[in-house]
Amino acid sequence: MRIATWNVNGLRARLEFVRVWLETRNPDVVGLQELKLTEDQFPFDAFSELGYHVVCHGQKGWNGVAILSRLPLEQDQLGLPGQDDFGSRLVSARIGDIKFTTVYCPNGKNLTDPDFPRKLTWFDDLVSFWSESQSSGELAVLCGDLNIVPSAIDSCHGAKADGLIFHTTEERSRFESLLELGLIDLFRAKNPDSQSFSWWDYRGGAFHRGQGLRIDIVLGTENVMKRVREVKIDREFRKKQGGLTASDHAPVIVDLD
């Protein structure tokens, strides 16, 4: 089984690019973020043609998340309870024996912006939601654009960036709170020494200069981790494909037994 997460940075602008990726990589389940469209605008037929069922939690012009699945899926949760004002940022579904949740976490903008403390509160609510909704022994995946750099190795700036947005102790403590609930960072567990990134700014040739961050994360419960064969960041699809422009994020792919 192949699962993945991807911030597509606008699905209308990236639809054909996403279709090429789906046909090339053949994932079974995908969490998409930053759709920037409503459910009414979502191209359900385009994914149905490729064999995917969809649940979508959209928003006009901003945010928006969806799950694509080749297996039948049952919608479980739309939106993070108590955080409707921060937009459409969470969707969860039951797919076979797996609870699959994808999130587009708030950016926070900068440390002096009012959105930064709101970001921390959003994560506190995510931790509470996960703690209250997760059943013991359940196979579960929580993936998406977390907008947090978990540790120095996950930033092109290393420890020099500690204290900057995405790299603060406050943000990282929220990430650690998710791990304390029994979730495992699957990429880091399988690639303990790899400095690899999932996001690169469009400006300044950041991708080609290797100036990125790892902020797109797939977390799984221990019983998911036991099934993991490989976790990789799909850098090839951060590049243009046949003239189609990529997102500024690369997909993260997890292959499970």
CATH of the domain at 123: 3.60.10.10
Ramachandran category for residue 192: left, alpha or beta (phi over 0 → left; psi -120 to 50 → alpha): alpha
pLDDT digit string, tens, across residues 83-131 = 999 999 999 999 999 999 999 999 999 999 999 999 999 999 999 999 9
**Number of domains observed in the structure of the chain:** 1
**Phi, psi values for residue 146, rounded to 5°:** -85, -15
- 183: containing domain: 2-256
pTM of the model: 0.98
Q: Which residues of the chain are modeled with pLDDT < 70?
A: none
Contacts for 109 with CB less than 8 Å, ≥ 6 apart = 115, 116, 165
H runs (alpha helix) in 53-184: 115-133, 169-180
